[in-house]
Amino acid sequence: MLHFLITILNEVLGSVFFHFGYVSNANSFPQPLTAEEEQKYIKAYKEGSEDARNTLIERNLRLVAHIVKKYSSHSSDSDDMISIGTIGLIKAITTFDMSKGTRLATYAARCIENEILMQIRSTKKIQSEVSLHDPIGVDREGNEITLIDVIGNETESVIDEVELKIQVKRLYNKMKSVLKKREKTVLELRYGLLNGTSKTQREIAGMLGISRSYVSRIEKKAIKKLSKELEPD
């Protein structure tokens, strides 16, 4: 379909623009067809006449120019807008159904406007996209900083945090499966694994009703067990 439209644009618009000059001026285009003429050319086009198709395009370019004028503030190039609008016109002529009782101009106006609006939205989207390599400032040494530099650092931080959480989860799983209940309790209290507050061996001894030296032995034994389990294969 796109190749077909481009071919028609090259055939029709090239000659039309040459003959009628400034495309942004709607008065440069030929007068629109009457209802009777429109029906005649549409019928001929449906029967395979390329001349009829070209006439339908040329005689509706005034409509394209009129609609383009409404959106002139969105583009600095009227010729481009006329071309985009004409693509909508060609689509309208190609898909128009006379049996529905609507004038071609009414149907074409919607197609032309839709084509222009799609182009405007596409252009705005492209303009709003920011390259990861665009400069966003300088560091203290005057070196240029790009967006990818910032995102890269943040990504590394996130990866480190995720890795830490994975290791902590692995440690907890090993503590549950390898350590005895008292060994697990001593490590949790000693290193603040429960609430973030670590206890001294003497404090733990008082809480469990055992000697400080016994707490020390339990701690060392528990750490030795975990170290063995967590060693890489």
Q: Does domain 153-230 have CATH number 3.20.20.140?
A: no
Average pLDDT over residues 36-61: 91
Q: Over 90: is that where the pLDDT of 228 sits?
A: no
Greatest extent of the chain over all pairs of C-alpha atoms, in Å: 109
Q: Tell me the two tokens of residue 135.
A: 């400069």
Looking at the chain, which residues constitute the CATH 1.20.120.1810 domain(s)?
2-128
Q: Please report which helix (H) or strand (E) contains residue 146, including its range.
A: strand 144-146
CATH topology for 2-128 is Four Helix Bundle (Hemerythrin (Met), subunit A) (1.20.120)
What does the pLDDT read at residue 182?
A: 92
pLDDT interval class at 44 (50, 70, 90): very high
Looking at the chain, which residues constitute the CATH 1.10.10.10 domain(s)?
153-230
CA 201/CA 112 separation, integer angstroms: 81
Would the pTM of this model clear 0.75, i.e. be above it?
no
Q: Over 50: is that where the pLDDT of 2 sits?
A: no
For the chain, how are helix, strand and coil distributed in percent, rounded to 5? 75, 5, 25
**CB 62, CB 90: distance < 8 Å:** no
Q: Over 60: is that where the pLDDT of 3 sits?
A: no
Q: Over 90: is that where the pLDDT of 40 sits?
A: yes
In tens, the pLDDT along 89-128 reads: 999 999 999 888 888 989 999 999 988 888 888 776 655 5
